[in-house]
Structure 1
Amino acid sequence: MSDMVPEVLNAALDSLFTPKEPGEQEYQGVDGLLYCRNCHTPVQCRVKLWGRDKIVPCLCRCQQEAMAEKKRQDELVERQRKIRQLKATGIQEKHLLEWNFGVAEDNKDIQMAKRYVEQWKKVKAENLGLLLWGDVGTGKSFVAACIANALLDQGIPVLMTNFSKILNQMGAMYSEERYRYIASFSNYSLLILDDLGIERSTEYALEQVYAVIDERYKSGLPVIITTNLKIAEIRNPQDVAYARIYSRILEMCTPVQISGEDRRKSIGKEKQQVVKEVLDL
């Protein structure tokens, strides 16, 4: 019986690898192998199976390049899907998706933001947070959103939210649920907390604000915080509860004053001009 095994295998191989005639896009080379008419590389190769030479199919250069291109396209589609998903979860206010470097004026604040993105690996490794402070309408949220969108476009998880939303979300949660919710922020490489100071100032609210800040501190991941508060208010708070929060923030973030023109007034003027043109005022 054992003597028959090689014969059975060879018979199976002969039936499997029966020589074939050249196809429309093939020709037979002087070595007896079939070649591709387009790239002139073999679509067959010789291999030794169980001591016998066999001619088996292989991929010519055209086919290899086509497979590589398909793989590249599939990876691109998957990357775009991932980025769309990251943006859907990371940018919760849809108008913020339109705030990016492509529509920004090239001022010193935007140049700083671009460097933050360009140096992201170092920023993340060294946990370099920012506290963007300044008057209302100077572009703090815009600068933060530009950073968020640029990193999201690279497939980096970013969450941009504010404490009012966080507190509203936590309102109906039990203690354990709140802890898991706060801990989930660590899934984002960058956390952006917009408009610090607009949230409620109750004891419960301040406790939760501190919990979010402290958890981020423990995670060792960077955070960007925007606020209309003066830097003097943050450095010299009058209340112990605020002092605890602001002290942790200053430990994590470098204060950067954003001093651009009031974007809201500029946008308001543009809309007024459009209304005048449309209504012929």
Structure 2
Amino acid sequence: MKNNKSEPIPVMDYRQYRRVRRLVHECCNYIDGNCIALDDGEECVCVQSISYSLLCRWFRAAVLPQDKELETALFHRLNAKKCAGQRQTVVPCFGKSGYFMPRCICQCQQEAEEQRKAAEERQRRMERIKRRKAQGLQDRYLYDYTFANDNGKNPLMDKARAYVENWKEAYKSNIGLLLFGDVGTGKSFFVGCIANALLDQDVPVLMTNFPTILNRLTGMFSEDRSEFIASFDEYDLLIIDDLGVERSTEYAMEQIFFVIDSRYRSRRPIIITTNLKLSELKNPPDLAHARIYDRILERCAPILFDGKNFREENAGATRQTAKDIVNSKHD
């Protein structure tokens, strides 16, 4: 039960010794001043109850953790002894005889405290990123839209990486993107990679679409709708996927304008994907569409997606996998 001689043994001051003595009485091996674990037929006094050194390995592992403050202090003292640092300093009393000895922190304690604070900050950052992802990527499949999952078949992905690398400048200059092209050409994957990369950097991002927004707005009072639309400006980057798939009712067009206009006036970047042609955006059918498209084209740099349909390729792979599964034979 005694500590191995090769291990450093913390030494207690009187106050710490008294606290250890109280803890010893809670040890399951302690009875009437003796240690039953060391009892080999003859009573054996509990060495931890009479020593200023932390000798008992069982006490260190099973009992001392009940007093975290004491445990930390004892091992900080041990570290201070390793670095030869002082935990007290002598300050003379100016104007009269004598001195006082305030506590101070040795190098080991300072390093341990810095490491503890750094670990806590890392943990807080990870929890914050997790919350941001839960809020910003409301569809779970978007979690897989990352640069690590890029198959390299779309050369436009280099532009997505460049946007992330130059995010600070894009944010400062309020530079957004407008991705347009046929269905299945990788627009959603492109913006999903940007969203995940920036979220991993602790940047607030929301990726959504207008059908979802309109569904949320349905049934809200005017004041609540205004607050909901204004909440989008809390995100450093707003991503609207599939502009144009929503119904073009008067109500829908009005709410879409409010969202785009609010973002426009906040001077924060927005990225939009759409299956519409650029000519359709530049030549809108009416004033309602014109007010929306005009603001988008002013703040978003257009990128054409004219490659092959990746969804058709993925569908082919899915059919082949399904065929292998249903045709496989079990032994």
SS in 2 for 1:44: coil
Q: Structure 2: which amino acid aligns with 1:121? A: K
SS in 1 for 2:83: coil
Is 1:234 equivalent to 2:284 in the alignment? no
Q: Structure 2 residue aligned with 1:74, among 107, 117, 120?
A: 120
Q: 1:112 to 1:35 in 2, by over 3 A?
A: closer
The residue number in structure 2 matching 1:218 is 265
Q: Structure 2 residue aligned with 1:262, among 305, 309, 315?
A: 309
The TM-score with structure 2 as length reference comes to 0.72
Matches within 5 A, 1:55-70: 55-70=101-116
> Shift of the alpha carbon at 1:108?
2.7
- Deviating more after overlay: 257-266 vs 139-148: 257-266
Partners in 2 of 1:144 and 1:36 — Cα distance? 52
The percentage of aligned residue pairs carrying the same residue is 47
Q: Structure 2 residue aligned with 1:151, among 185, 194, 198?
A: 198
CA contact (8 A) 2:181 2:274 kept: yes
> Shift of the alpha carbon at 1:35?
8.8
Q: Structure 2 residue aligned with 1:195, among 235, 238, 242?
A: 242
The residue number in structure 1 matching 2:186 is 139
Partners in 2 of 1:108 and 1:45 — Cα distance? 65
Summarize deviations over 1:64-87 as a string: whole Å, max 9, x none.
Answer: 111111111100010011001111
SS in 2 for 1:133: strand
The residue number in structure 2 matching 1:253 is 300
Matches within 5 A, 1:48-59: 48-49=92-93, 52-59=98-105
Q: Please tell me the root mean square deviation across aligned C-alpha atoms, in Å.
A: 2.1
CA contact (8 A) 1:161 1:193 kept: yes
Structure of higher RCO (CA pairs closer than 8 Å, 6+ residues apart) = 1
Q: Structure 1 residue aligned with 2:144, among 70, 83, 98?
A: 98
CA contact (8 A) 1:35 1:42 kept: no
Higher normalized strand content (fraction of residues): 1
- Deviating more after overlay: 267-276 vs 163-172: 267-276
- Structure 2 gaps of 5+ residues are 1-14, 16-51, 55-77
Larger Rg: 2
Partners in 2 of 1:96 and 1:280 — Cα distance? 31
The residue number in structure 1 matching 2:12 is none
Summarize deviations over 1:174-209 as a string: whole Å, max 9, x none.
Answer: 111111111111100000000000001111111111
The TM-score with structure 1 as length reference comes to 0.84
Q: 1:43 to 1:172 in 2, by over 3 A?
A: same
Q: How many residues align?
A: 253
CA contact (8 A) 1:195 1:226 kept: yes
Is 1:112 equivalent to 2:156 in the alignment? no
> Shift of the alpha carbon at 1:245?
1.4
Q: Structure 1: which amino acid aligns with 2:261? A: D
Q: Structure 1 residue aligned with 2:86, among 2, 27, 42?
A: 42
